[in-house]
Amino acid sequence: MFNDDSYPTVDELNDYVAIGPSKDLSISIDKTTFDSAFIITSIILFIVFICIIVTLLILNNNLTYSPIVYKQATFKEPTQLTVNDDYGSSKNGYSHNLYKKKTPDGTNLTKETCVFSNSKWNDTTNNCSCPSGKYGPNCDFEFHDANYIAVGNINPCDIKSEVIGTYKTKYKSFKNTKPSNELSSNHLGIANYNDILDESCSEKCDKNFTCDGFFYKTNKCILYKNNINIPDISKLKYSITADSTLYAKSLEHIKFDNQIFLSESEFSLPTKYWLFKNTNTFAKIQPNIVSRIKFIPRYIKYNYNYIGIYSSYEFQYKDIENILIENNSNYNNNFNFYMHFPYDEFDIPSELLREDSVILYVIYITFKI
């Protein structure tokens, strides 16, 4: 019975492997086939494990830096732009000498129109002198107190700031008063002093210590506090032939979204920096665009929601992700790029600068955690 050829020999049994939960529920597989399958399965599991590790590393990196949408880099060459003086600014209501040399007050007014506009006509010189608080060839522009900066013409709907209050007043900063003998009288013969007693818009802002600036146009006065934020700078216009509508106590109270302003120093920042494009010591750049500047910036004005990348070597937008990864892992030893993070001290290291060039490439991208 044991010599029956229908049963495998002991040597033949050694060439098979039984796989199953029990003796009765198992199958036999050729040992060579089993060994090959085990090796292949192990290799596949190892590859899957490596893929999982790489995926986790990528996800971890994306939690630190927002995904990059690639687009071609656009370079901006410095373009000189000049801005005229801040006409109309005066503490006492009288025109600047510089302004008088260009356009004397009341030059377009005849004697009749001069008197009708409450201006004073000089019969000796045959010219018109605008009343206090007014200037321009037609005496239709209003002076503003020199303690304020004329930002430009803008609609109140485009200003994002906390409103203290809205008032109605006839004057921006200076009252257009008449001599006492010219004051109108009521039916009792008593002079009407309402115009003199009316408080100007800038006076209202002066008396409120929380006021950072005001809007004024056609008797409408709006006071603002906690900085004056302008989301869309393209809506802000400035002209020396028209009154500004927005005024701020200082440059520190003006904030612009989606704009980064760089200069060689705080003192080289133009007075109306938001009106300039680029100069030899100043640059206005937009986020997510690689710009090229020809000076070393030491002063910056911007909202703290961007990461800055600087290099003396040309790079493009598509390179940003690799730059961030490289500098994140080897920050202290890589002087090809300078990373400016929000609220960090702005100080470009001397090692970044090339001896053969003073050109810097810079971009600011949105910072997300």
- Taking the C-alpha atoms of residue 175 and residue 228, their distance in angstroms, rounded to an integer, is 26
- Taking the C-alpha atoms of residue 229 and residue 235, their distance in angstroms, rounded to an integer, is 12
**Top-confidence range, 6-20, 192-206, 253-267:** 253-267
Identify the pLDDT of residue 15.
Answer: 59
CA distances from 158 to 153, 215, 257, 331 (A): 11, 11, 12, 41
Reduce the DSSP state of residue 276 to 3 states and report it: coil
Residue 172 is given by DSSP the state: S
Q: Structure pTM?
A: 0.67
Residues 6+ apart with CB under 8 A from 116: none
Write out pLDDT tens, residues 248-300. Answer: 998 888 999 889 999 998 888 888 899 888 888 899 999 999 999 988 899 99
The per-residue pLDDT of the chain, averaged, comes to 76
**Torsions phi, psi of 116, nearest 5?**
-65, -30
**Which range among 68-77, 245-254, 315-324 shows the weakest confidence by mean pLDDT?**
68-77
Query: For residue 217, how far is the Cα from the chain centroid?
Result: 26
**Top-confidence range, 15-24, 42-51, 84-93, 137-146:** 137-146
